[in-house]
């Protein structure tokens, strides 16, 4: 979260806490009515929604990464499947499904050029390189599934293997 947004969120939370503490310490204060409680809950939800929306804003660089994300089903090792689909109305956001879990992923820039989608809340990372994709649990430091291939990756690998077969020296070819 950008520093200026953290500051605004901290100020909001601090003022709410001070107001609550002042009311709690005032013996003459009346308990809030049901309507006041509902209004306070609605305000808290609006604040949470705003903070979430602000955190999830996507930069232009992230949108450029999003253009390279392969979507659809990827066949993975051990007959497993990962599905990656764009979320309608939320450019740069993707829904990743693996087994019974679903993650909301956003692209992150990398220095290597690999496509990296991340759900920071869940600690999950989807890495996509030309030869394969994999899902990792960044918090646990382990791969959830590896060797995933979208049809485009499978076609690229086949093209590379075909080109390698045609360029191999004659001594390496078997009769």
Q: 4-8, 16-20, 146-150 — which is least confidently predicted?
A: 4-8
Q: Which residue has the tokens 């646990």?
A: 140
22: confidence class by pLDDT, cuts 50, 70, 90: low
The sign of the torsion formed by the CA atoms of 149, 153, 155, 159 equals negative
Domains present along the chain, CATH in parentheses: 3-55 (no CATH), 60-158 (2.40.128)
What does the pLDDT read at residue 4?
A: 45
54: confidence class by pLDDT, cuts 50, 70, 90: very low
8: confidence class by pLDDT, cuts 50, 70, 90: very low
Residues facing residue 98 across a β-bridge: 82, 101
How many Å apart are CA 101 and CA 83, to the nearest integer?
Answer: 11
Question: What are phi and psi for residue 109, nearest 5 degrees?
Answer: -70, 145
How many Å apart are CA 69 and CA 46, to the nearest integer?
Answer: 32
């Amino acid at each position: 979260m950008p520093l200026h947004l953290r500051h605004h969120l901290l100020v909001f939370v601090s003022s709410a806490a001070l107001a609550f503490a002042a009311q709690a310490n005032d013996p003459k204060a009346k308990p809030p009515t049901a309507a006041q409680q509902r209004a306070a809950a609605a305000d808290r939800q609006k604040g949470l929604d705003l903070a979430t929306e602000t955190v999830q804003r996507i930069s232009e660089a992230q949108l450029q990464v999003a253009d390279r994300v392969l979507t659809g089903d990827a066949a993975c090792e051990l007959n497993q499947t990962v599905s990656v689909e764009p979320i309608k109305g939320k450019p740069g956001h993707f829904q990743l499904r693996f087994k019974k879990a679903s993650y909301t992923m956003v692209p992150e820039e990398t220095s290597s050029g690999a496509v990296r989608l991340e759900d920071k809340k869940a600690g999950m990372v989807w890495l996509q390189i030309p030869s394969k994709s994999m899902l990792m649990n960044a918090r646990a430091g382990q791969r959830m599934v590896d060797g995933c291939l979208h049809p485009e990756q499978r076609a690229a690998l086949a093209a590379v293997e075909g080109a390698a077969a045609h360029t191999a020296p004659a001594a390496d070819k078997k009769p």
